[in-house]
Structure 1
Amino acid sequence: MGLPKACACAVLWVLSALEACALGSYIAAVYEHSVVLSEDTEVPVSPEEALVLMDKNMAILEAAIKEAARQGAHIIVTPEDGIYGWVFTRETIYPYLEDIPDAEVNWIPCADPGRFAPSPVLERLSCLARNNSIYVVANMGDKKPCNSSDPRCASDGHYQYNTNVVFDSEGKLVARYHKYNLFVTEKQFNYPKDPEFVTFNTSFGYFGIFTCADILYHDPAVVLASRFQVDTILFPTAWVNTLPLLSAVQFHSAWAMGMGVNFLSANMCNSTLEMTGSGIYAPEGPRAYYYNREMENGHLLVTELSSHPRLSPDYPAAVNWKSYASRIEQLPSNNHYFSGVIYHDTFSFTELTEPEGYCSICQQDLCCHLSYKMEEKQKDDIYVLGAFDGLHVVEGEYYLQICTVLKCKSTDLDTCGQPVETAQTKFERFSLSGTFGTNYVFPEVLYSGVQLAPGEFEVLTDGRLISRTSTSKPVLSVTLFGRWYEKDPPHTQQVSP
């Protein structure tokens, strides 16, 4: 006879409600990979030789993917350049590239390998996803023929792209993204004419994807989070740690918090190049992260995330980043002001000479204000408050407004701004704010040993970055890292983190 219509509707509603509850969270994985590198990227190799190298890396990634699936992960992200390495020429990268079709072609390479041009890497990734019932995110190279009538077409007759691919748990290609903001050394690749805003839907959330240096620019990163309102960003990267403000775990966790998204960041592990730092970040703070400069082993992170963080009662409220600071009158100060350099940018600094107090410093239109109390200031730990308001022009051009409290490398003030990884002084409290001209500000708190501070600080809606408790570890830096995208110069090929 069947159910009455009303009952049938009720049953369907209950089932859909149960499904929604079941998918309110998901298990995310990222893998930090110690890549097997080519002995010489200046010497061309055959496609067969290229595949031998890629298979070595694929075997390592396969073990990580299987382990993530065993732990119940719905999706795993692997690093940029994780299949073949880096610093190729246009000619020497070519044997590693495959012709990757648009995801709209509805293709499962594992089940239909002969449908397009030979694609052994795509096939293997597809089968790894399909055989382990997990979404797989990987970075590889794409090649596309172009016509000599196209003024952007290189003399070799094709475009070459740094490319992310995503396969669903059936092994179907569901996303392809061409990196838009290339690092200065990526001369082997082209960037697409226009930025690509690549998203895809799953039963456990709405995803967007971009790569490494893209995070420093408006397109496509900010557009995916703000206009497309994705739940989670997937982020393959090969990030060289640049302390004191641009360490991988430090900046990527801050971006997730500032943009209000989940963020899955998979970095390389290479101590020679100071590459390490992967994480699974929520808008409220890191859920799992890894930073280790001593080891050359890969490392798998697996943890649970909210599928739709914007629906969470803990979701951060909108912030007016200059509200508090703009109400503070600039107090006359006898403090000594001096200049120091952080990653090629000249900051204005003032020393925190007392164990507690208030100080401020301005540069251009940005005034930074700090109220603080140290638990017990160690005499060898010198801290400064710094401000920078200007265009960064080395290895990429982008406009910054930064307020930062940081530990100097030594008691010599000339070392303030240089990279440092250890400190001895804890803070009982701090409150940092600035008269920002941008709404895009990323809050960073970094402890000794390049460790994050989950749950120990918060951003108030008036723009103050404050401590919730005494710091559990000595402080390296407390920073409000602002990006004023409207003041950036036009996009060019050579950009960088």
Structure 2
Amino acid sequence: MIAAPLLAYAAISVLCIVKVSTMDTFIAAVYEHAVVMPNISLTPVTHEKALALMNQNLDLLERAISSAAKQGAHIIVTPEDGIYGWRFTAREAVYPYLEDIPDPQVNWIPCNDPHRFDRTPVQNRLSCLAKDNSIYVVANIGDKKPCNTSDPQCPPDGRYQYNTNVVYDSEGKLVARYHKQNLFMSEIQFNSPKRPEVVTFDTKFGRLGIFTCFDILFRDPAVTLVKDFHVDTILFPTAWMNVLPHLSAVEFHSAWAMGMGVNFLAANLHNPLMKMTGSGIYAPDSPKAFHYDMKTEEGKLLLSQLDSHPQHPVVNWSSHASSVKAHSSGNQEFTGIVFFDEYTFVELLGATGNYTVCHRDLCCHLSYKMSEKRSDELYVLGAFDGLHTVEGTYYLQICTLLKCKTTDPNTCGDSVETASTRFERFSLSGTFATQYVFPEVLLSEVQLAPGGFQVSSDGQLSSLKPSSGPVLTVTLFGRWYDKDQTLTASSDLIAQAQSVLI
């Protein structure tokens, strides 16, 4: 692996290896894993007990990896926290589960040389799983790095602890290591690296990049990987807790793949009690395979064929909306809360119509036709243009058609998983000030609509045919990275967010 500077981002480190790409297509696999969790304890367990727990999870991952390889998969992605679980109460609690993970430049196949570095049983086993099955294996483990008082940022316990993704190639060689940059609010056991890491590696099936869970909502490293390093496929271990209406895993991850024009391999944990489910293999044009299951306790292996070098469509997200004359709805606008943000809404009164709603500088236009206008369901068009400051700080511009929880307008924006209204057609656009917009279409029971919609070059999200199921939301989810600010959310909002997300 070769280290090189990122020209446009001097603060970012880059890791990559170079190989010749020779495959037009490849088979990808992701595994949604029902992780075996450690017992919550104020006293750290021994290394032996930690390894025993991790081996239980590795036994389950081994079955998925072997099955994927037998079905022809070239690479498999497993979830964040998939080897030892999550929600450790302190740095000391996770420490027995950590290993010192070397820089991939050391040119190491742990399966062949297990004693080259001290105490690396998990790395050794992952390497052997990759080598024995002739498959790339992507996993999430914990890294530890000692530091001393000469480093002013060194934690009091004398070490950095990182939420870390590792990749082993089909020969068992460590080819990538990524330290998570954007830690979620409860990840007190880990440190962020001093600089965002942009990690890529080249394979016979294209250039791959990697980041973790909450990273997806920020520019670095996620957008940088695509825009500046031109990756074909993103590897995405995650421990994602679904938040409707706009941040369900399958919904947002498939939208990110389409908005960024890349393949996206998302492996989530499976824990319905924590609202954790939703994994998928997504291409820029459509989801290829996805899984959402809140009813069972089992894991799930997904496989699909992908193009090694998908097309990167160019979209002017404000073009159509800027040319449209605002539609006067005649009914009164009102406000509502969607994930702690205050939207401006207008009710859809008829079975067919054209509506416009604006919030600050963002105006959203909708044209639609329902199969029927039901009296027991309320749909609205909403707009939000502002800074979100709860579980993270990031600037949003969002246009959304969504179903309210009940016919009471006060429930518009609440989490809802079922609907009965189908749409014959819809077209949604907005006057976005950002080029980073992610198109979402989510149906009843939290299902996607592969092949059911398209995004045109002028920024319209439009149906291609009548919806295959009742609609929960049609959304253009915009991120205006240049307007992100470092603000602190109030303690009461953080407490509310924790009750929803954790």
User: Are residues 1:342 and 2:343 paired?
Assistant: no
Partners in 1 of 2:150 and 2:348 — Cα distance? 61
Q: How many residues align structurally? A: 472
Alignment CA distance shift 1:20-1:274 (3 Å):
closer
Tell me the residue number matched to 1:438.
Answer: 434
User: Are residues 1:418 and 2:414 paired?
Assistant: yes
Tell me the residue number matched to 2:491.
Answer: none
Partners in 2 of 1:160 and 1:485 — Cα distance? 27
Partners in 2 of 1:246 and 1:68 — Cα distance? 28
Q: What does 1:60-459 correspond to in 2, within 5 Å?
A: 60-88=60-88, 89-310=90-311, 317-459=313-455
Q: CA deviation at 1:151?
A: 1.6
Q: What does 1:451-490 correspond to in 2, within 5 Å?
A: 451-490=447-486
Partners in 2 of 1:454 and 1:330 — Cα distance? 30
Q: CA deviation at 1:491?
A: 10
Return the letter of the residue paired with 1:33: H
> In structure 2, the residue corresponding to 1:486 is in which secondary structure?
helix
Alignment CA distance shift 1:20-1:239 (3 Å):
closer
After TM superposition, the runs of 4+ consecutive aligned structure 1 residues lying more than 3 A away are: 494-497
Partners in 2 of 1:440 and 1:491 — Cα distance? 22
Partners in 2 of 1:87 and 1:453 — Cα distance? 34
The answer to whether the 8 A contact 2:402-2:473 is kept is yes
Partners in 2 of 1:172 and 1:94 — Cα distance? 25
Partners in 2 of 1:277 and 1:143 — Cα distance? 30
The answer to whether the 8 A contact 2:21-2:203 is kept is no
RMSD (Å), alpha carbons:
1.5
Return the letter of the residue paired with 1:395: E
The answer to whether the 8 A contact 2:389-2:487 is kept is no
> In structure 2, the residue corresponding to 1:200 is in which secondary structure?
strand
Tell me the residue number matched to 1:43.
Answer: 43
Q: Deviations over 1:306-345 (max 9, x none)?
A: 01113xxxx5x31110111111233444221111111111
Tell me the residue number matched to 1:3.
Answer: none
Partners in 2 of 1:249 and 1:213 — Cα distance? 14
> In structure 2, the residue corresponding to 1:55 is in which secondary structure?
helix
Q: Deviations over 1:131-152 (max 9, x none)?
A: 1100000000000001112121
Return the letter of the residue paired with 1:350: V
The answer to whether the 8 A contact 2:259-2:284 is kept is yes
Partners in 2 of 1:170 and 1:349 — Cα distance? 55
Tell me the residue number matched to 2:16.
Answer: none
Q: CA deviation at 1:435?
A: 0.4
Q: CA deviation at 1:43?
A: 2.9
Q: Deviations over 1:227-272 (max 9, x none)?
A: 1010100000000000000000000000000000000000000011
Q: Deviations over 1:149-202 (max 9, x none)?
A: 212110000000000000000000000000000000000000001000000011
Q: CA deviation at 1:381?
A: 1.3
Return the letter of the residue paired with 1:74: H
The answer to whether the 8 A contact 1:97-1:142 is kept is yes
- Identity over aligned residues, as a percent? 64
The answer to whether the 8 A contact 1:377-1:426 is kept is no
Q: CA deviation at 1:285?
A: 1.0
Q: Deviations over 1:191-214 (max 9, x none)?
A: 001000000011111100000000
Q: CA deviation at 1:378?
A: 2.1
Q: Which runs of 5+ in 2 are unaligned?
A: 1-19, 489-493
Tell me the residue number matched to 1:7.
Answer: none
Return the letter of the residue paired with 1:326: S
Return the letter of the residue paired with 2:208: F
The answer to whether the 8 A contact 1:41-1:87 is kept is no
Partners in 1 of 2:218 and 2:327 — Cα distance? 35
> In structure 1, the residue corresponding to 2:197 is in which secondary structure?
coil
The answer to whether the 8 A contact 1:422-1:448 is kept is yes
Partners in 1 of 2:247 and 2:167 — Cα distance? 27
> In structure 1, the residue corresponding to 2:40 is in which secondary structure?
coil
- TM-score normalized with structure 1 length: 0.93
Alignment CA distance shift 1:281-1:376 (3 Å):
same
